[in-house]
A and B are shown apart, each in its own frame.
Chain A
Amino acid sequence: MADTPRPGPRPAQLLRRLRRGLFASHLDTLITVVLAVVCGSGLWSLLHWTFLQADWAVVQDNIRLYFNGNFPVSQIWRSWSWLGLLGVLCILTLMPSRLLPPAMVRLLPLFWVLILPIGLLLLAAGLGFEPVKSRFWGGLQLSLLLTLGTILMALPLGILMALARRSSLPLLRWLTTGYIELMRGMPLIAVLFFGQLMIPLFLPEGWTFSRVLRAVLSLGFFMAAYMAEDVRGGLQSIPKTQLEAARSLGLSPLLTIALVELPQALRTALPALANQCVASLQNTSLLAYLGLIELLGISRSILANPNYLGRHLEVYLWLALVYWAVCILMTSLARRVEHSLNVTGHH
């Protein structure tokens, strides 16, 4: 919005606006006063508790656990450097794209895909490092790894299922519809338990999947069903005339999907998909109940330490802050993607 000059000096203007907004009538004044008292007293007791009564040692002493879990201390730089890489990638993505070389901007999506294998290499083994078993992974690092893995698995799978759901082959259509309805009909915690217990039964003799991998597979299969529905919504919003134009230009069905339908469908579905991505992060906390020491899991084990008896409030407030910060980061990343796809303001 353009700055339009308004009459009167600024403080007077502000006062006028406040009076109009908050104290316009007796009822308005009453509502304003009641709300101010309720919020003010709530905030006062929170601040009072935070700075005078709370004992934040339970957070300060265990920062390493919250971020890196039980990662061996001698190798901890590997865990930090992955978190650091992730941070750099976030900053690069959020930066105005004109500050970056165009080639870099084009490669950003690729980097986002590569950050997962890089993380696995850094954390697990490879590159000649000492191998670290996945049961030592934990904390925020594990939560982010699970979230990234889930998204990178669920998104392509969801797109494929959305396409299969409107396929002309009835069997394919019925199977995907059945799968999506089944997954959406089950609570996630049940899917996670099923995953931990049943995936080993389907594996060939001699194969074992770590608990982390089983968790990602269950989360991915679950989220894919929801993402498929979001993509389907996007596909349905494309007018039939677009397909006729593509066909009359001689584009094959596959090219029509890749060049005309999906780019438009994903743009439309993007807000819903971003929502699912944020939900994926929150969903990882359920794995605390399946023995994974991700952010919530490690906090529970810290609380089990007799030294920090009764420090629940501090820990959970801290957790809320961390989850909230990551969510804010994810939503701003999503907004950035939305913005970069919509520079022309069409739709």
Chain B
Amino acid sequence: MTSSPAPEPQPNSGAQPGDVSSSGPALAVRSQGLDKIFSNGFQALSKVDLSVSKGEVVVIMGPSGSGKSTLIRTFNGLETIQAGHLEVLGHHLDADNNPKVVSKIRHHVGMVFQQFNLFPHLSILENVTLAPIWVQKRDRQKVKEDALALLDHVGIREQAHKYPSQLSGGQQQRVAIARALALSPQLMLFDEPTSALDPEKVKEVLETIRALAAEGMTMVVVTHEVGFAREVADRVVFMDEGMIVEQASPKTFFTDPKEERSQLFLSRIL
């Protein structure tokens, strides 16, 4: 990992989407020596170095408890880090976990969770418009039009006035994707987006993510979907016990894994 001087985080990169990408570095995420230790003493990440270029689709795989979810949760500050350095879209975060930096990062990073985490008291449309209205303070009418366009994009415009509990899991997850996209993020994090879905609903969600990848969105996806990783990923990262064991192109990883642990993992899931 080269340690070229990274550009200073821009002082006023709060509200306008796109201002970092125009002048920022070519890397979307760079982590160096990242350590995550939970309050009960469990070390979930140790010395993780990972870089994600702009426009790249990185799939993280690994057995449960290997730290893959924890890793991408550090990327938008949902988990604090105890050592190391993190650079996300030109914003630098250290073990002090400066809340101001975290807040700036979150304005440009979208996240999709395993359990969708839609707000049950808000309609589908309100779920999508909440952050643009209150965080970006954009015009309500414009936000509403954009949100409907996004919902159309993920194929659930007809359900805009229903509530999350009235939708299927697959539909809810697509709303969650639209909600994250409403802030025009430059980086999307997916934390096992299809693990909580019925098998027949997995496809529609993966299609939505695939379409997003085709549009050039930078994405880090934690998933067990081998088919998806093979087709969509530019790079597969294999983690175990809080460390990155192997990184390779999907073709190499699935046909000719180098490390013993990767081979063992693949022999179990393939």
Decide if A and B are genuine partners.
Answer: yes
- Residues of chain A touching chain B, judged by Cβ–Cβ distance below 8 Å, are 241-242, 244-252, 255, 259-260, 263-264, 267, 344-347
Given the interface contacts A241-B113, A344-B165, does A248 sit within 8 Å of B76 by beta carbon? yes
Residues of chain B at the chain A interface (Cβ within 8 Å)? 76-78, 103, 106-107, 109-111, 113, 115, 117-121, 130-131, 134-135, 162-166, 179-180, 183
Looking at the assembled complex, report how far the CB atom of B81 sits from the nearest CB atom of chain A, in whole angstroms. Answer: 16
* 11 sampled A-B residue pairs with Cβ under 8 A: A242-B117, A245-B117, A248-B76, A248-B110, A251-B135, A255-B135, A344-B163, A344-B166, A346-B120, A346-B163, A346-B166
Among residues of A, the one whose C-beta sits closest to the C-beta of B133 is A259
Q: Which residues of B contact A241 (CB under 8 A)?
A: 113, 115, 117
Q: How far is the CA of A260 from the CA of B120 in the complex (A)?
A: 9
- Name the A residues within 8 Å of B111 (CB-CB): 248
Which A residues are CB-close (under 8 A) to B119?
242, 245-246, 260, 264
Question: Whose C-beta in chain A lies nearest to the C-beta of B136?
Answer: A250
**Which 10 pairs between the two chains have the least Cβ-Cβ distance?**
A245-B117, A346-B165, A249-B131, A344-B163, A248-B111, A250-B106, A250-B135, A241-B117, A250-B107, A346-B120
Residue of A nearest to B105 (CB): A250
Contact of B164 among A252, A260, A346 (CB under 8 A): A346
Partner of B130, one of A259, A267, A345: A259
B contact residues around A259 at 8 Å (CB): 130, 134
Q: Which residue of B lies closest to A258 (CB)?
A: B134
Task: List chain B residues, Cβ under 8 A from A245.
Answer: 113, 117-119
Measured CA separation A244–B189 after assembly (Å) = 13
CA gap between A345 and B166 in the complex, in Å: 9
Q: Is the interface of A mostly helix, strand, loop or mixed?
A: helix
Nearest opposing residue in chain B for A241, CB measure: B117
The residue from A246, A252, A345, A347 contacting B103, defined by CB atoms under 8 A apart? A252
Contact of B183 among A249, A264, A346 (CB under 8 A): A249
Asked whether B120 lies within 8 Å of A250 as measured between CB atoms, the reply is: no
The interface residues of chain A lying within 8 Å CB-to-CB of B134 are 251, 255, 259
**Chain A residues closer than 8 Å to B121, beta-carbon distance:** 263-264, 267, 346
Give chain A residues whose Cβ lies under 8 Å from the Cβ of B113.
241, 244-245
The minimal Cβ–Cβ distance linking A104 to chain B, given in whole angstroms, is 21
Given contacts A244-B113, A259-B130, A346-B165, whether A249 and B120 have CB atoms under 8 Å apart is no
Q: How far is the CB of A78 from chain B (nearest CB, A)?
A: 41
Contact of A249 among B77, B115, B130, B166 (CB under 8 A): B130
Measured in the bound complex, the distance between the Cα atoms of B111 and A245 in whole Å is 8
Residue of A nearest to B111 (CB): A248
| Complex CA distance for A210 and B77, rounded to whole angstroms | 53
Residue among A241, A247, A248 with the highest chain B CB neighbour number at 10 A: A248
Give the residues in chain B near A244, CB-CB below 8 Å. 78, 113, 117
Q: A255 to B106: give the CA distance in the assembly, Å.
A: 15
Q: Which residues of A contact B162 (CB under 8 A)?
A: 344
Given contacts A241-B115, A347-B120, contact A247 B78 (CB under 8 A): yes
Residue of A nearest to B179 (CB): A249
A245-B117, A247-B78, A344-B162 are known; give 7 further A-B pairs, CB within 8 A. Answer: A241-B117, A247-B106, A248-B110, A249-B130, A255-B134, A255-B135, A260-B119
Closest to B103 in A: A250
CB-based contact A248/B78 at 8 Å: yes
Alpha-carbon distance A248/B117, docked complex (angstroms): 11
Distance of A161 Cα from B118 Cα, bound (Å): 27
**Once bound together, how far apart are the Cα atoms of A241 and B116, in whole Å?**
9
A264 to B131, Cβ gap below 8 A?
no
A211 to chain B, nearest CB (A): 42
**Interfacial chain A residues near B110, Cβ < 8 Å:** 248
Instruction: Given A242-B119, A260-B119, A263-B121, decide whether A251 and B165 contact each other with a Cβ distance below 8 A.
Output: no
Cβ-closest chain B residue relative to A343: B163
In the complex, what residues of A have CB within 8 A of residue B107's CB?
250
What residues on A are CB-neighbors of B135 within 8 Å?
A: 249-252, 255
Nearest-neighbour CB distance to chain B for A106, whole angstroms, equals: 16
B170 → A minimal CB distance (Å): 18
With CB as the reference atom, state the residue of chain A lying closest to B189.
Answer: A248
Q: How far is B106's CA from A252's CA once the two chains are assembled, in angstroms?
A: 11
* Cα A267 to Cα B163 with chains together (Å): 15
Q: Roughly how many angstroms separate A289 CA and B131 CA in the complex, as a whole number?
A: 53
Most chain B beta-carbon neighbours within 10 Å: one of A246, A247, A263: A247
Contacts of A347 in B (CB 8 A): 120, 165
A346 neighbours in B (Cβ, 8 Å): 120-121, 163-166
Q: Report the minimal beta-carbon distance from A73 to chain B, rounded to whole angstroms.
A: 50
Contact B106 A249 (CB under 8 A): yes
Asked if A251 and B131 make an inter-chain contact with CB atoms under 8 angstroms apart, the answer reads yes
**Beyond A245-B117, A250-B103, A252-B103, is A345–B131 a contact (Cβ under 8 Å)?**
no
